Structure 1
Amino acid sequence: MEQQMTPWRAPQRTYQSYYMDSTHWERYRPSAGDIVISTPPKAGTTWTQRIVSVLVFQSVQVPASVSELSPWLDSAFKPLDKMLEELEGQRHRRFIKTHLPVDALPVYSEVSYLVVGRDLRDMALSTHNHAAGVKRAGQPAVTKDIRAYWDEYFTRSIFDWEPNGWPFNSPTHHLQSWWAHRDQPNVLFLHYQDMLDDLDKEMRRVSAFLGVPVDEARWPELVLECTFSVMKAKQDEVFPGKNADAVAGFEFFHKGRNGQWRDVVADEQLALYRAAVATLPGDLHTWLTRSK
């Protein structure tokens, strides 16, 4: 009989919107060794899922796409019964995607949590590309004007109690909620910039955290497979169906670079960004805001 696990932290708040439903996690039945990838939208979610996939299978040839192997459990776009059926049927080490902050999740000692952060200025541009390029039922309208959108991103959330992230949930709240638990042995923070700068090093950190031995003979191939350029070239294989609700010209894997905001946003608009990150604890602010 499978041992029942008790969360050491229960959900404190319910998040329900046109694109997410945190109550889905009430039906999650954890298994020892499960991996939860928790990120704000457009912080490197699919990238991290791809990294975990090649580590779990120790191969660039995995049995299905990232979206099939790693279900987004709080997604409002796929029937929960179907996601749970697929998850329960998996026999490999399971890895699950969420965009929820820690206050919306049951947190278990036996489950590993990967939390990914990114400079909010770059996240804002990537979120605009996604929100303007994908039209989901019930999604609020998003302006095509990136400067006008910037003002919305840093002053609104889809949830009334959050300060930013429009039309999704707040990246500052998400990261701050997890930061308080960063010293837990089953929580690992990753930074998008570190992954860009030294993917080999960051993948080794993930491998050590998950207890996955590194096969040096195979390692270069695994790292190469997780570079942004290779993922983008194989996007139909890595993430099929990504454009089902997309307007013409939309790319799910956009540019994969940081610092693009410098050529887009007026200097005076940076005050909104500074106000958003000023609310963060000092050490989180320092960790998050380093950028090239």
Structure 2
Amino acid sequence: MVNRPPIKIVSGMPILGPFAENWENVQDFEAREDDLLIVTYPKSGTTWMSEILDLMIHNGDDMKTQRGAIFQRVPFLEYAVPDMPSGTEILNALESQRVIKSHLPAHLLPGSFWEKQCKIIYLARNVKDVLVSYYHFYRMAIVHPEPGTFDEFLQNFIDGKIAFGSWSDHVKGWWKIRHQKDILYLFYEDMLEDPKREILKVMKFIGKDLPEEVLEKIHQRTTFKTMKENHMANYSTIPSHVMDLSVSPFMRKGICGDWKDQLTVAQNEILDEYYKREMRDTDLTFRFEN
């Protein structure tokens, strides 16, 4: 039986037990002016955007993106598990320009990112697909606590008691400040609908000017099918004591509307009620199917 560490609370936010041990280094992290930061609530397209940005800053050269696994090329700021270097350690050793990923809510982002006025890409996904994907991720990612039954996980999700806390607080927190800072706020559902359109937005946002054929190459290299088969993008190289991919693949379906096959009528009603209640005070809205 694998010993799954319990959730811990840091700065009022639930986080994975091992991650909590490195929290001070996360809060003290020194950003650089040319850092590009990808922020999402978990299971909202982080790896997809990571691969797009890594290809983009290397002008579409896919040989460069084979230099290491995605979690080495785009390190996860909060990451810390036994017997592996932490996200902050990997990032501090990297030369510029760094692409960094994070799941932190806006109010807990290390201050140096604001001070250095770093460009931030926030990617949001609808709550129902996030919930389903996160449940399967919890099952296979052994650094998480046991998810329990789907109903138990749903309740913990609604109560904000899972790693990185409340989905609604997260998406609303970043939405609220998107015009005050250098933030590009994107939606997973929009990326599925027209990937090239959204990739173009990213290119303009980071100040790149790539020819059409390079954009097309980035688009083709970052389709779900291509990434699922790419060992440098699909997490197949991560140690099995961190993720047991025999339980569920890291890249499962990558679609909008998977929740319709997963949620019971009662579960769907609970989520509808949660969504209506939580989004009452914002103009942020989500699509639940393509």
Same fold (TM over 0.5): yes
Indicate the residue corresponding to 2:7 in structure 1: none
Identity over the aligned pairs, expressed in percent?
A: 22
- For the 8 Å contact 1:31–1:111, the answer to whether it is kept is yes
TM-score for the superposition, normalised by structure 1: 0.82
Indicate the residue corresponding to 2:265 in structure 1: 267
Secondary structure class of the residue paired with 2:19 = coil
Residues 15-61 of structure 1: CA deviation (Å, up to 9, x unaligned) = 45425344333331121121111111101111111111101111222
Indicate the residue corresponding to 1:220 in structure 2: 216
d(CA) in 2 for partners of 1:269, 1:173: 21
Deviation at 1:189, TM superposition (A): 0.8
Closer, same or farther in 2 for the Cα pair 1:78/1:69, shift >3 Å?
farther
Residues 83-116 of structure 1: CA deviation (Å, up to 9, x unaligned) = 4443233234111111110111124152011111
d(CA) in 2 for partners of 1:78, 1:213: 41
- For the 8 Å contact 1:243–1:252, the answer to whether it is kept is no
Q: Supply the RMSD in Å over aligned alpha carbons.
A: 2.4
Q: Counterparts of 1:21-170 in structure 2 under 5 Å? A: 21=20, 22-58=23-59, 59-61=61-63, 62=65, 63-77=67-81, 83-105=87-109, 106=111, 107-108=113-114, 109-136=116-143, 139-143=144-148, 145-146=149-150, 148-149=151-152, 151-158=154-161, 166=162, 168-170=164-166
Runs of 4+ in 1 over 4 A off after TM superposition: 78-82
- The answer for unaligned runs of 5 or more in structure 2 is 1-9
Closer, same or farther in 2 for the Cα pair 1:289/1:18, shift >3 Å?
farther
d(CA) in 2 for partners of 1:81, 1:68: 10
d(CA) in 1 for partners of 2:83, 2:72: 13
Stretch deviating more after TM superposition (254-263 or 82-91): 82-91
- For the 8 Å contact 2:36–2:118, the answer to whether it is kept is yes
Closer, same or farther in 2 for the Cα pair 1:186/1:78, shift >3 Å?
farther
Q: How many matched pairs?
A: 267
Deviation at 1:283, TM superposition (A): 1.2
- For the 8 Å contact 1:38–1:99, the answer to whether it is kept is yes
Stretch deviating more after TM superposition (77-86 or 91-100): 77-86
- For the 8 Å contact 2:26–2:78, the answer to whether it is kept is yes
- For the 8 Å contact 1:37–1:96, the answer to whether it is kept is yes
Secondary structure class of the residue paired with 1:115 = strand
d(CA) in 2 for partners of 1:231, 1:65: 12
Amino acid at match of 2:283: D
Amino acid at match of 2:146: A
Secondary structure class of the residue paired with 2:128 = helix
Q: Counterparts of 1:176-187 in structure 2 under 5 Å? A: 176-187=172-183
Closer, same or farther in 2 for the Cα pair 1:247/1:82, shift >3 Å?
closer
Secondary structure class of the residue paired with 1:217 = helix
Closer, same or farther in 2 for the Cα pair 1:26/1:51, shift >3 Å?
same
- The answer for unaligned runs of 5 or more in structure 1 is 1-11, 159-165
d(CA) in 1 for partners of 2:163, 2:97: 33
